[in-house]
Chain A
């Protein structure tokens, strides 16, 4: 999307290592930042989200951090497993409507 930049576009990690994906946004009024995971041939599905009044959120091996001042947020996956291989999309929203990043293809090597 035109409002969100996502890096890197591809990421290869060894099983058990961590993976980090970063996104930057431009609209200071954005208040909702979800992350979606899309497995091959399937639809994107929400894995974690964060709102602008929170700096960090964690769910098992997945965590998201938000820096409102710098307008960037990141997805952290720890202890990566083969089933973490997928395309990950960040997104931002101000008034319900989501704008997505271009996606990061994550490959976890066994």
Chain B
């Protein structure tokens, strides 16, 4: 759905650099998530937020931080990127009216060299 927009879509960065991935949604959903996808490992949860004042760690939060600037915006930061953070990152949203259905953004390819 174009309702969940991620920027940038592709980024190459150097080891040690700070990088931010941004996510915005027009679905009006309260819950937002950041997942990381690696081959053979599926989708692993990094952080999630159920509203503007709520931030929760997922299963692989080390090396990442997030900010929920508004209901519609949820950004993921790598303070000091390292090569094993090279992956495809997905933002996702979930609304009370949609049951548990999660809607993914188009993904952001991040390469750390």
Q: Which residues of A come within 8 Å of B, CB atoms? A: 1-2, 6, 9, 32, 34, 42-46, 49, 89, 93, 96-103
Partner of A97, one of B40, B42, B48, B101: B48
Partner of B101, one of A2, A46, A100, A103: A46
**Bound complex: CA A45 to CA B105 (Å):** 10
- Would A93 and B105 count as touching, CB distance under 8 A? no
How big is the B interface, by class?
A: 20 to 34
Q: Which residues of B come within 8 Å of A, CB atoms? A: 31, 33, 35, 40-45, 48, 50, 58-59, 90, 94, 99-102, 104-107
- Would B42 and A43 count as touching, CB distance under 8 A? no
Q: A1-B42, A1-B44, A96-B94 are in contact. Are A46 and B59 (CB under 8 A)?
A: no
Give every chain A residue within 8 A of B41 (Cβ-Cβ). Answer: 102
A-B contact pairs, 20 of them (CB 8 A): A1-B44, A1-B45, A6-B42, A9-B40, A34-B101, A42-B106, A43-B106, A43-B107, A44-B104, A46-B102, A49-B99, A49-B100, A49-B101, A96-B31, A97-B33, A97-B45, A98-B45, A100-B43, A102-B40, A103-B40
- Would B100 and A32 count as touching, CB distance under 8 A? yes
CB distance from A29 to the nearest CB of B (A): 14
- Would A44 and B100 count as touching, CB distance under 8 A? no
CB distance from B104 to the nearest CB of A (A): 4
- Would B101 and A44 count as touching, CB distance under 8 A? no
Give every chain A residue within 8 A of B42 (Cβ-Cβ). Answer: 1, 6, 89, 100-103
CB distance from B87 to the nearest CB of A (A): 14
The chain A residue with its CB closest to the CB of B43 is A100
Give every chain A residue within 8 A of B102 (Cβ-Cβ). Answer: 34, 46, 98
**Bound complex: CA A30 to CA B105 (Å):** 25
Give every chain A residue within 8 A of B94 (Cβ-Cβ). Answer: 96
